[in-house]
Structures are given as C-alpha cells and as structure tokens.
Amino acid sequence: MAGLEDLYREIILDHYRSPRNRGELPIPPAHRVEGFNPLCGDEIVVYLDVEDGVVSDLKISGQGCSISQSSASMMSAAAKGRTVAEVRTLVRSFKSMMSIHESQLGTDGDGEEGEDDDGSDDLLDPSSLGELAALAGVVKFPVRIKCATLSWNTLSQGLDEVESAES
Amino acid sequence: MSAEPKIVLDTDVKRRSTGSTGERSPRRAGVVPAAGHADLDPRALRADFPLLSSDRPGGRVVYLDSAASAQHPRSVLDAMDRYYETTHANVHRGVYAIAEEATRLYESARVAVGRFVGAPRPATEIVFTKNVTEAINLVAYSWARHELGAGDVVVLTEIEHHANLVPWLMLAQDRGVELRYLRLGADYQLDVSDIDRLVDGAKLVALTCASNVLGTVVDLAPVVAAAKRAGALVLADGAQLVPHRPVDVAALGVDFFGFTGHKMLGPTGIGVLWAREEILEVMPPFLGGGEMIRDVRLDGFTPNELPWKFEAGTPPIAEAVGLGAAVDYLSAVGLERVHAHESALTAYALDRLASEHGDDVTVFGPAADPVRRSGVISFAVRDVHPHDVAQVLDTRGICVRAGHHCAKPLMRCLGVPATTRASLYLYNDEEDVDELVDALRDVRRLFG
C-alpha cells in the first residue's frame, strides 16, 4: 500500500505552504480562466499573459487541497517565460505522467486524462520535469489525480481560448 | 443463522460514564428512550457486521461515513442471499410457487418498511424507488408538474442536499415556479422567525428532517404548522433521520416523506416514498412501463392501483427483502437505544475534539443536544484542506467523507469549499472517536 510519504513529498508541502505566483493579473491584457473539481469543490483561477507567443506572466488564485495547490504552484513556476508551444508540451508531459501510471494501476481512466497525448512524440521524460516529478506519487492515489491535473487542464483551456481569440 | 442482533445488556454504567457523555438530557416527546432499556453495546453489535470485523481482509476499518452509506449486518446479507438462492422469480406475474413467494416477500417488505415509519396504510402508501433522490423526483415530476405552474411557490431551505434542490430548480426552469428559501439561523438551526410570510401563497414546502452536513435535526413542527395555515403540502426528506430515530410520518403531519435503504443498514438500489393515499390517488404515474398499468391499448393505458402505479418495470425485489431485514434488525435493537447511543457518542466526540484540538478544529454544527443534533459532525482543520485530512485519516483505516456533501449552496453559506465529515452510527464507539481525535494530531503535524 502506498504510504503518505509517496503523496506528501516535502517539495509538495513547500509549494502548498508557500505558493509561487499567487495572485491576479489585470484583465485585459491578461486572460482569466476557471477550473473546478466537482468532487471536492476545488476551484482554480489561472491568469495568463501571452505576448508574442510567450507566456510572459501567469498567476494562480482559488482554493483547493495541498495537491491541487502545489501542482498549480509548480506549474506556474515551470510555465512562466516559456513559449506557448513549450508550455503545451509541458502540459502533455505532465498529464502523461499522471495517466500512464493510472492505466498501469488498472483503474478506470475517465477518458479525460491523456486526451492530449495522441501522437505526441515530443513528451518530456518525467526525469526532466524537475520539481514536477515529485507529483508522480499522486498516481498511486487515483482519486487525487484530478486534484493534480486540475490546474493543468485549466491552463490548457486558457491557452486554447487565447489562441482562438487571436485567430 | 439467527437474524437477531446480539444485544448485550450493558449494566456496567461506570464503563460508559466518561465525563459528560454519560449524562442524559430531557428529551422531547416521541424521541424519549423508553425507561428501563439498557444501553446498546456497539462492540457486540459490530460482530454482526462482516465489514466491520477486526479480521476483515485488509484490516479493521474505523467506519465514520454512515451518513453516506451504512454497513450491513449479516442478517441483511443472508436474507438477500437466501432470496436469490431459494425464491427468486419476478413478482406479480407467475402463478408458480416461487413467484408467489417472491411476491409475498416483496409485498411484506413493503408493509414492514411502512410500519417502521408509521405509515397508516403501508400496503398502498409505500412506493419503492431507487433511492430518496428518485422519491423526490417522483413528487417533482408527477405531483408538481401536474399541480404547479408559473408563479406557484415552492419553499425550500438553504441546507438541502442537492437531491432536494435540483429537482425543484429543474421544475422552476420548466414551469416558472418560484423558489423561496428558509435560511440558516442561530446555532445552525433553520431560521423560522419569518415562516408565515415565507410560506404565504406556497403550494409546497420541501425540506430535510436532518442535515447531512451540519447534523442539525430540523424541528419540523413550526414549518408544518405554517405550511398547513398557508394551505401548502409538506415534503420531508428523511434520509438522515429514519436510520437514527423513531419516526412516525403521520405524527409529523407531512404529506410526502422520502428515505433511502442504504443509509439504514439496507442495500443500495432501494428507496422509499411515502405519501398520503388521497394524494397518491390523484397523482399521475411517474415512469411508464410494465407493472404500473392495469390495461394498455394502442390508443392509451389505464394506470395500475397504488402503489404499483408508481413502480414501472421489475422492481428491486432482493433489495426490498434486504431492506425488510434491515428494518427487522433496527427494530430488534430499538431505535430509541440507537438514538440514545448516538447522542451520547456525539457529545463525547464534540467534547474530545474541542478539548484535544481547541481552535485548530472548527465544527460546523449545533452544540451537542439529543433532540436538535444528530451524529453527523462536519469540521475543518485549520489550514488543511478536507481532502488532505481524509487522506491522512485513511492511512490509519479511518473512513470519513471530504467534500461538499452534495450541498454546495450550504458550503457557500458556511464560506468553505468543502468540509471533512465524520458520521456516527449504532456500531461506532468511543474508541472510534478516540482514533479520529488522535489521527487529527497526525494531520496537524504533517501540514502544520
């Protein structure tokens, strides 16, 4: 049986206690997108500034459990300053890390995780995800996977909305 | 195997008298434990529940989630097994012996369940549904869509489970019905100070008997009285009350009453709607199909008699048999004793949470009170999300619920996204509470 130490790694608790990039950005120019986890009532709001194809700034607000909050915090640190294309790769890589293990556990994937994975041969190896790799232990707690992926799905939706607004 | 619960007479009063918990406050008429009844012994009862046994594969669990779904005594499981092994056939159809017997078992379960809640005419007034959600939807679709139109008023409360909110929100969308809400007042009780104005012109008041979040046991009397004065019917959601206290639907004065099997030691997949016969008679059918008709022609149909008019298709037969066995079990233990036990244990739990955790644990619910409070205890641990609380408790085999408990409007009212909820039942004891209180220390240590 997976122990608590698999889930609550010190780096995760650190991001939970001291979340990075917490706050809001003025809209416009920033784009605001909300995500909900109906299971536990968690709410994430992502504020996204995209300039010349680069995620120039990113802020997180909302409330949630340690996993959703620390995942959002790590995501903000990892995504800020990267190009939209890089961020999309990062999102796919993270969600892949969260879903491969899910299927290995034999649990019933809900079809949402990994939906962006199709044909993506550019996924980053979990070992190159830096701090984010600490969240790999979450997959041993299937009910918490949605907590970890909430902010990533929200960011992904935000990027879609920014791009469709520009096109 | 005997279906009788192992009731052990616990005459050692000293063993139970831990601080204030042994104290018994005066109780309202109708919920007073009969004098001379010995306290129930939860440890002895646990021997009747396979899942709660200490030699369960995977280890003993401290089960504190009965408000979500209760565990089953062996007698319920055996009754259902026995039914499937010896008597299964479709009901109300065959002329052969086992079909007759299946019908008899199904219909006698109906009567037993009806008597359990004081239904004056159980054979016709008890409608089996899938759960309490379906019972309420039955009223919303059949009675309300027949009786209510634009501008009609339905009064609800802000502490309702989604099961008693969404059907009415859907009705409001469909028919332009106006919804009004009783608000939460002092000490987590409903504020009924303005009840007459609120129900003025209303056709229906639909409210819970006991909150699945707060543990508040609603005093229905002033609401029912005001509804009567206004000429409104009353629907009461008894899902969180029927498992825990003696209930008499006739004495409550309500018109519709719903509850569910799996919270009262019965199986999932069966719930109950009780309504007064004269109301059920004029209600149109709900779901259409076999069983609910007397005659079908190519140009129309004639509905069946009560209660089958509301039971389309093959009903949950084994589940009804199991629910009947659950009712037998609860009756043998005695709901007065269940209530007394839960009240004392709730007082103990609230007391221990306060003394061990002080301001670090906030309870969302009334102070201990045998009349106005149930054994549902929702709480927050300072700076720790309920999901994380429940996760840590799980590693010690403690089962609690974390989330919004299907009561999002109430969560907004409390100003929290979610709570952690421990709920007590007849098989829980002080040791279970102690495990919870101790484990919360781990929670605070990890996230502190």
Contacts of B51 (CB under 8 A, 6+ apart): B61, B63, B71, B72
**pLDDT digits over B335-357, tens only?**
999 999 999 999 999 999 999 99
Q: Is residue B21 scored above 70 in pLDDT?
A: no
Judged by CB atoms closer than 8 Å, whether chains meet at B417 and A41 is answered as yes
Judged by CB atoms closer than 8 Å, whether chains meet at B417 and A67 is answered as no
Give the closest-approach CA distance of B388 to chain A in angstroms. 6
Residue B406 designated active-site: yes
Residues B310 and B138: their CA atoms lie apart, in Å, by: 8
- CATH number assigned to the domain comprising residue B214: 3.40.640.10
Domain span at B34: 13-69+334-447
Whether residue B220 sits in one domain with residue B290 = yes
**pLDDT digits over B199-221, tens only?**
999 999 999 999 999 999 999 99
Contacts of B85 (CB under 8 A, 6+ apart): none
> B290, B308, B331 — which closes off a domain?
B331
Whether residue B215 sits in one domain with residue B247 = yes
Give the closest-approach CA distance of B285 to chain A in angstroms. 33
State residue A108's pLDDT score.
Answer: 43
Tell me the two tokens of residue B289.
């199909």
Q: Is residue B140 scored above 80 in pLDDT?
A: yes
Residues B344 and B13: their CA atoms lie apart, in Å, by: 13
Specify the number of domains making up chain B: 2
Whether residue B299 sits in one domain with residue B280 = yes
Contacts of B252 (CB under 8 A, 6+ apart): B220, B224, B236
Confidence of residue A9 (pLDDT cuts 50, 70, 90): confident
Whether residue B117 sits in one domain with residue B251 = yes
Residue B2 lies in a domain: no
Would you state the CATH architecture of domain A4-166?
Answer: Alpha-Beta Complex (3.90)
* φ, ψ of residue A70 in degrees (nearest 5): -70, -35
Asked if residues B222 and B317 have their Cβ atoms less than 8 Å apart, the reply is no
> B447 to chain A: which residues are within 8 Å by CB?
13, 16, 66
Q: Is residue A110 scored above 50 in pLDDT?
A: no
Residues B46 and A136: their CA atoms lie apart, in Å, by: 39
> B282, B306, B331 — which closes off a domain?
B331
Whether residue B365 sits in one domain with residue B287 = no
Q: Is residue B22 scored above 60 in pLDDT?
A: no
Q: Is the CB of B355 inside 8 Å of chain A's CB atoms?
A: no
> HEC string of B4-18?
CCCCCCECCHHHHCC
Residues B70 and B240: their CA atoms lie apart, in Å, by: 11
Confidence of residue B12 (pLDDT cuts 50, 70, 90): very low
Angle, in degrees to the nearest 10, between helices B430-447 and B386-394 = 120
Whether residue B148 sits in one domain with residue B40 = no
Residues B90 and B102: their CA atoms lie apart, in Å, by: 7
Judged by CB atoms closer than 8 Å, whether chains meet at B385 and A65 is answered as yes
Query: 3-class SS at B180?
Result: strand
Whether residue B315 sits in one domain with residue B405 = no
Whether residue B368 sits in one domain with residue B404 = yes
Query: 3-class SS at B92?
Result: coil
Angle, in degrees to the nearest 10, between helices A84-104 and A66-79 = 140
Give the closest-approach CA distance of B404 to chain A in angstroms. 6
Whether residue B340 sits in one domain with residue B304 = no
Whether residue B164 sits in one domain with residue B26 = no
**pLDDT digits over A29-88, tens only?**
899 999 988 777 788 999 999 999 999 999 999 988 999 999 999 999 999 999 999 999
Instruction: Pick A40's closest partner by Cβ from B387, B392, B447.
Output: B387
State residue A2's pLDDT score.
Answer: 63
> B331, B349, B381 — which closes off a domain?
B331
Residue B7 lies in a domain: no
Asked if residues B377 and B349 have their Cβ atoms less than 8 Å apart, the reply is yes
- CATH number assigned to the domain comprising residue B394: 3.90.1150.10
Residue B34 lies in a domain: yes
